[in-house]
Amino acid sequence: MSSTTDKIKGAANEAVGKAKQGIGNVTDSDKLKAEGAAQELKGKAQGTVGDAKDAVKSKL
Neighbours of 31 (CB within 10 A): 10
Q: How far apart are CA 14 and CA 8, in angstroms?
A: 10
pLDDT score at 9: 97
What is the tens place of the pLDDT at every residue in 2-58?
Answer: 999 999 999 999 999 999 999 999 999 999 999 999 999 999 999 999 999 999 999
Residue 60 scores a pLDDT above 90: no
- Total domains in the fold of the chain: 1
Backbone dihedral region of 29: left (phi > 0), alpha (psi from -120 to 50 degrees) or beta?
beta
pLDDT score at 47: 97
Q: How far apart are CA 54 and CA 60, in angstroms?
A: 10
Domain limits for position 12 = 3-59
Residue 59 scores a pLDDT above 90: no
Quick one: which H or E segment has residue 10?
helix 3-27
